[in-house]
Chain A
Amino acid sequence: DGGITQSPKYLFRKEGQNVTLSCEQNLNHDAMYWYRQDPGQGLRLIYYSQIVNDFQKGDIAEGYSVSREKKESFPLTVTSAQKNPTAFYLCASDRYNTEAFFGQGTRLTVV
């Protein structure tokens, strides 16, 4: 079955560490997105990619980095420069502006 897989579901990070969140899709979608959700707030766009080897900053890109070496994969790295990384992270993909499909999300906590 086609879909989007995010891993891990829960992630704990020590202060000052970089961590990478995985997002893989087998839907043959061109566009992929990373969103962040904080309690009581909506989804905010971190980065998006419309084609392989190209990506654009979203509204809250500072402290994050991404890569898009393969169509299927769009990993997000939360760097030590992100001052408040504790949040729920959601990956999505879509094809030519059809409905988006979402992963199950990763809950990142700084300990």
Chain B
Amino acid sequence: ILNVEQSPQSLHVQEGDSTNFTCSFPSSNFYALHWYRWETAKSPEALFVMTLNGDEKKKGRISATLNTKEGYSYLYIKGSQPEDSATYLCAFFSGGYQKVTFGTGTKLQVIP
């Protein structure tokens, strides 16, 4: 069983604040890390697919970084908006074509 942890478990921020959270994963046998956004009553949707150490990806106000040597990825949201409220999941793929292991998610609530 692979240990993929996300922190914090939940987060409340004011509209306009910037925020970030962490996904920790095993540093050995890394293949890829994905970030997903999961809104209540909807399917999770992919945000980023990250494969190389040092990767930085950006989509609008959301960005992510990857450090495979130390086994962590950060997700940043700049100027949080109420529509950013969701659970953010990371998914760790280990060496080659193997099953994905999800983190427990960070539940973000942006207060207007």
List residues of A whose CB falls within 8 A of some B CB: 4, 31, 33, 35, 41-43, 45, 48, 50, 56, 58-59, 90, 92, 94, 96-105
Contacts and interface: CB of A to CB of B under 8 A. Distances in A.
A43 B105 CA distance: 8
B44 A102 contact: yes
Contact of A102 (B43, B96, B97, B104): B43
Contact of B101 (A41, A45, A99, A102): A45
A99 B34 contact: yes
Most buried by B among A33, A100, A102: A100
Contacts, number: 56
A104 B42 contact: yes
Given A41-B104, A100-B34, A56 B99 contact: yes
Contacts of A98: 49
Interface of B is mostly: strand
B43 A104 contact: yes
Interface range, B side: 20 to 34
Contacts of A94: 100
A98 to B, nearest CB: 7
